[in-house]
Chain A
Amino acid sequence: MSKLYLARNPRVAARSLDGEMMIMSGRDSTLFTLNKTATILWQAADGATPLDKIVENRICPEFEVDPAEALQDAEALARDLASHEILQISEAPIPQTKPALANPATGEAR
């Protein structure tokens, strides 16, 4: 399987409310809230870390799941988030020209 890279779509609006990520689509203003796994993907989506590393380092320790199964689920989730234009996905690293000033983990300012 080729590597998959994730980046936060700079067109969305995002904020953490008591640990729950609120994301508003830049495409049609639809509001989403992310579950725990999706929040981990959002937090880790820096454009440089491949999905398999995110799964290995962030998801598996959190959920104690089989890595191969977790990677498959995470990829499906990442593609779903990309279909809503919340994440950008690519088989190559995604350069961040103007990184967000807000902490992606919390949605709060650094």
Chain B
Amino acid sequence: MSGLLQEMTEKAMKLNVPLSVQLDVTYRCNERCVHCYLDHDDHGEMTTAEIKHLLDEMAEAGVFILTFSGGEIFLRKDFFELLEYARRLMFCVKLKTNAVLIREREAARIREVGVESVQISIYSHRPEVHDAITLIPGSLKRSVDAIRFLKSQGLRVIIANVLMTQNLQDYPGVHALAAELGVECTLDPTITPMMDGNRSTLSLGVGHAELRRVFRDQGLVRDAEEFCAIPAAPGDGELDSLPCSAGHTACYVSPYGDVFPCVQFPLPTGNVRQERFVDIWRHSERMNEVRSIRMKDLTTCTSCTHVSSCTRCPGLAFMEGNMRGPSSQDCEKSFARTGVPSANMLAKQRSRANLVQIRALPTQPYTSASGAIA
């Protein structure tokens, strides 16, 4: 984050202004990515008029950075109408898309409307791997062609590479592809549970040993020794700081108008079909509860070696059952990075050991009522 943006973010936080919002305009998608956390049915998306009204409200509330995401945004027939409306409201617009539907004409139109960046999911440089994740044959070619169309329009494109077991070996190839295309590339090993709480997708996440290797890859990390160093103890006031921007300067709105602190934080705080966006932002009890949490309020994490450097996601912690608790995925990341287990991991180990210790050993064979030995 640039110094000026950091300064404006701090100012927005003091003024309780939602500087940044992700708006999912649909959960429908033309890909079926194996790790996706969404269902792809339409349960009653906001209409064009409803979204335009919401955009008016968000501009009035001070939202500056607006990320259109989904689902696949270009499946909405009114998407360009919404995009153009958002730009006329002077939002700084970012797009997240698989780009399968972007051809030369769409790229030119995006350029004409003016967006800050287009983030495109690419899982591998090899069609057999990428297409096996999206479950759509030919999808890599479509997405890469789209990147070329967008680049030829002078647009800023960012490849988002999610790391999972299926594509673990391919991130260097994706980075090389990004370099060849002249675009940026991000790598994220976070696999999110499904929004309905189903955690089966987590099995696709990469294991500890593999993650450890990735964190030490000199091609990714400028200074692996520094990146993987054991963190220093928290400095003065660090425990009074905020866990993340969710609910402080940022939030998420679903295609149905539900407002959440973040796309990864499925705590419903209100619905824009029933209340004004700014009223939910300012007055929702749940939003204010999220907002009230400081690092010192976190159970377990405050005593953790990693407290000052952990990427703990409060939304993932919430999905584990406690928004003030640890996020095990981030514990794993901190462990893989430094080799030092988190306080949460140690507590779980102790808990498992205790369970064994307190188990009473039978002195006599137990005979159940039916007479069978248990």
* Physical interaction between A and B: yes
User: Which residues of chain A are near B59, meaning CB under 8 Å?
Assistant: 15, 101-102, 107-109
Q: Is the CB of B11 within 8 A of A98?
A: no
The distance in angstroms between the C-alpha atoms of A99 and B88, with both chains bound, is 7
Q: Is the CB of B62 within 8 A of A13?
A: no
Most buried by B among A12, A32, A108: A108
9-residue interface stretch from B1-9, B70-78, B238-246 = B1-9
9-residue interface stretch from A22-30, A53-61, A62-70, A74-82 = A22-30
Q: Is B114 an interface residue (CB 8 A)?
A: yes
Q: Is B117 an interface residue (CB 8 A)?
A: yes
For B86-102 the 0/1 string (1 means CB < 8 A from A) is 01111111000000000
Whether A33 contacts B8 in the complex (CB less than 8 A), given A17-B15, A108-B59, comes out as yes
B156 in complex: contacting residue of A20, A29, A100, A108, CB < 8 Å:
A29
Q: Which residues of B in the span 45-65 have a Cβ within 8 Å of any Cβ on A?
A: 55-57, 59-60, 62-64
Q: Is the CB of B15 within 8 A of A15?
A: no
User: Which residues of chain B are near A12, meaning CB under 8 Å?
Assistant: 90
Q: Is the CB of A13 within 8 A of B91?
A: yes
Q: Who on chain B is nearest to A14 by CB?
A: B90
Q: Is the CB of B116 within 8 A of A29?
A: yes
Whether A108 contacts B88 in the complex (CB less than 8 A), given A29-B116, A31-B2, A31-B4, comes out as no
Q: Is the CB of A109 within 8 A of B12?
A: no
Interface residues of A, Cβ cutoff 8 Å to B = 10-18, 20, 22, 24, 26, 29, 31-33, 98-102, 107-109
Q: Is the CB of A102 within 8 A of B90?
A: yes
User: Which residues of chain B are near A108, meaning CB under 8 Å?
Assistant: 59-60, 62
A109 in complex: contacting residue of B5, B56, B87, B156, CB < 8 Å:
B56
Q: Is the CB of A10 within 8 A of B15?
A: no
Task: Give the Cβ gap from B107 to chain A, nearest Cβ, in Å.
Answer: 16
User: Which residues of chain B are near A99, meaning CB under 8 Å?
Assistant: 88
Q: Is the CB of B114 within 8 A of A11?
A: yes
Task: Give the Cβ gap from B153 to chain A, nearest Cβ, in Å.
Answer: 13
The distance in angstroms between the C-alpha atoms of A94 and B83, with both chains bound, is 24
For B181-204 the 0/1 string (1 means CB < 8 A from A) is 000000000000000000000000
The distance in angstroms between the C-alpha atoms of A17 and B57, with both chains bound, is 15
Q: Is B122 an interface residue (CB 8 A)?
A: no
Most buried by A among B55, B57, B91: B91
User: Which residues of chain A are near B92, meaning CB under 8 Å?
Assistant: 13, 15, 24
Q: Is B85 an interface residue (CB 8 A)?
A: yes
User: Which residues of chain B are near A29, meaning CB under 8 Å?
Assistant: 116-117, 156
Q: Is B17 an interface residue (CB 8 A)?
A: yes
Task: Give the Cβ gap from B250 to chain A, nearest Cβ, in Å.
Answer: 14
User: Which residues of chain A are near B60, meaning CB under 8 Å?
Assistant: 108-109
Q: Is the CB of B17 within 8 A of A100?
A: no
Q: Is the CB of B89 within 8 A of A100?
A: yes
The distance in angstroms between the C-alpha atoms of A29 and B92, with both chains bound, is 9
For B3-35 the 0/1 string (1 means CB < 8 A from A) is 011001001100101010000000000000000
The distance in angstroms between the C-alpha atoms of A20 and B85, with both chains bound, is 23
